[in-house]
Chain A
Amino acid sequence: MSWPGYRWVAYGGAAGATAAATLVGLAMRPHFELVNIAMVYLLAVVAVALRFTRGPTIGASVLSVVAFDYFFVPPSGTFSVDDPQYLLTFAMMLGVGLVVSQLAAIVRAQAQVRARLALDAETERIRNALLSSISHDLRTPLAVICGASSSLAGRTDLSPEERRELAQDIFTQARDMSELLAKVLEMTRLESGAIALQRDWAALNEIAGSVLRRLEERLATHMMMIDLPAELPLVRVDSVLMEQVLANLLENAAKHTPPRTLIRLRAQASGQVMTVSVEDFGPGLDEGELEHVFDKFERGGGWVSGRGGMGLGLSICRAIVRLHGGAIWAERLPGGGAAFRFTLPLEPPPEMPAGDCAFVNG
């Protein structure tokens, strides 16, 4: 608890609490004994102790003693004390302030320890889920690869066509495993904070073009509709990571909707943000899924699931978009279907070179 300006806020809070206690005390004075008014000051000290650290608490104790003395202890309006009993009251007020601030500090420390333990437990839970999920998703391709390659190596009675099919199976499964591994590594790097964004000016159309080229084969089963205005402004992003976001969203849409479903990639800029959407016209998401699809290892339970695949893709998307200062969410489309949208903050456009005659409109 030592953010800049903390001292001002804390000591101001201590002074404010004492002033409030004084006002309450003045209102109480006609009807209550002075000892009870001292209790009001104690209450203020305790409140400060719970909220702030030791220094401000001692400050509040001292101020309370001074104010109590000045406003209430006879002769009021002076700092002199007729009855030495009140010296004991002062000592008690100071003492209570110190003890309470000490207790509050201990409680705060314990709360921090408990929060860290809870975080550790959560990390542990995620790690276990990750391990079981990965081993599950690796088992099938590994079984195929072992089976197919041992057939190729050991059997002599296979027709050329059969050999080609087995080899093709090995290739496909190995490629999927490699993709999965890349995702796991990426998530690990994102989580550990090991990724420093390589931000540079980029055109979303270009990133999209590159993704569509990369995923051509995998998206071939679906109908793609690209709706990217030519005049979209440039964004300052890490293009490699942004390409990953688009790839994961598009792949996700293709994986969880039946073949020939329409998938639409859209983007629009307004004001300070660009909003990018991947919409599909498949079965859509359940209400409960909207919240949790971005959590790790959440598989689209209700979706038509052709290939397996853990929900690592979407949580990678969320991590990357957040790193860029944007937000990502899922929506249900009115006519059925799901929309995944994310925002990117827009910055003032960069300066362009002068002197090329055809540079008319950006």
Chain B
Amino acid sequence: MAEARGTILVVEDEPEIRRFLRSSLGAEGYKVVESPAGQRGALDAGMHKPDLVIIDLGLPDLDGVEVIRRIREWSPMPILVVSARTQERSKVEALDAGADDYVTKPFGVGELLARVRVALRHVRRNGIGEDLVLGESRINFEKRVATRAGREVHLTPIEFRLLGCLAKHLGLVVTHRQLLREVWGPSHVEHTHYLRIYMKQLREKLEADPVRPQHLVTETGIGYRLVADEP
């Protein structure tokens, strides 16, 4: 095996899931550190300074959200949350507390590895200087220009801001609350319908098929995810 691609801390109480994560992440060249509980996990994050943390929300000793808060007090390291379906509320809570993305249990290895890659890449390429490419559409935030199939598309200031906010977290989910706060301000965090209307407008302007969007993806009950074409 070549040199490790990075260290991943896995905070998970189920030994079988830890084993499966260790084997699949290890096979991809990551070095895996394991914590069986929340308290330990928060400490291990400080001790090992991993490149990424995977944390199960259903830990026995300490709420996963609390572990995320403790890590966020001192570090912006990417955090990936693992949780069951039907737990949308705790996912949103974890994301609002600073987690970067989530995978829903049960998940396949492919899905998990894709999320890990996006979260790690996000750290390295933290800027939106180059064009954002979404299928036929290209957006340049510096020049404030958007085109689709070579023809200019007019985006309003709010549409630019919304798209910019999603692009800042390219490939990662952004909660309704985060988007509303960043685009419209803290007094509008409950106004989800703003997002519905503006996302619809953005999709009509930028997506080939607005009903089946390939880039401005809805995460029902949670938020939105901007998926760009792989470079």
Q: Do A and B come from one complex?
A: yes
- Whether, in the assembled complex, B197 has its beta carbon less than 8 Å from a beta carbon of chain A, the answer is yes
At the interface, yes or no: A359 with Cβ under 8 Å from chain B?
yes
How many residues in B have their beta carbons less than 8 Å from beta carbons of A? 33
A residues contacting the other copy or chain, number (CB 8 A): 37
The listed residue with most A CB atoms (<10 A of its CB), out of B108, B188, B191, B199, is: B191
The answer to whether residues A239 and B221 also contact, given A205-B211, A357-B156 and a CB cut-off of 8 A, is yes
In the complex, A209→B199 CA distance in Å? 12
In chain B, positions 158-214 with a C-beta closer than 8 Å to chain A are: 158-159, 184, 188, 191-194, 196-197, 199-201, 204, 210-213
> Is there an interface contact between A206 and B218, defined as CB atoms closer than 8 Å?
yes
User: CA of A362 to CA of B199 in the docked complex: distance in angstroms?
Assistant: 12
Q: How many whole Å from A14's CB to the nearest CB in chain B?
A: 52
Are the C-beta atoms of B220 and A207 separated by less than 8 Å?
yes
Q: A178-B106, A356-B156 are in contact. Are A206 and B86 (CB under 8 A)?
A: no
A226 lies within 8 A of chain B by Cβ:
yes
- Determine whether B219 belongs to the interface, using a CB cutoff of 8 Å to chain A: yes
Q: When A and B form their complex, what is the total count of cross-chain residue pairs whose Cβ atoms lie within 8 Å?
A: 88
Is the C-beta of A67 less than 8 angstroms from some C-beta in chain B? no
Contacting B221 at CB < 8 Å: which of A185, A240, A353? A240
Q: Which residues of B contact A171 (CB under 8 A)?
A: 108
A205 to B202, CA, bound (A): 14
- The answer to whether B218 and A209 touch across the interface, beta carbons within 8 angstroms, is yes
CB-defined contacts of A205 to chain B, threshold 8 Å: 200, 210-211
Complex Cα distance A244/B159, Å? 29
Contact between chains at B211 and A350 (CB < 8 Å): no
The 7 tightest CB contacts between A and B, nearest first, are A201-B193, A358-B156, A240-B221, A210-B218, A356-B158, A350-B193, A203-B196
10 more contacts with CB within 8 A, not counting A230-B210, A240-B221, are A178-B106, A186-B86, A201-B192, A203-B196, A209-B218, A210-B219, A234-B196, A239-B220, A358-B159, A358-B201
Binding site for B on A (CB under 8 A): 171, 174-175, 178, 182, 185-186, 189, 198, 200-203, 205-210, 212-213, 226, 228, 230, 234, 238-240, 243, 350, 352-353, 356-359, 362
Using a CB–CB distance below 8 Å, which chain B residues touch chain A?
A: 85-86, 88-89, 106, 108, 154-159, 184, 188, 191-194, 196-197, 199-201, 204, 210-213, 217-221
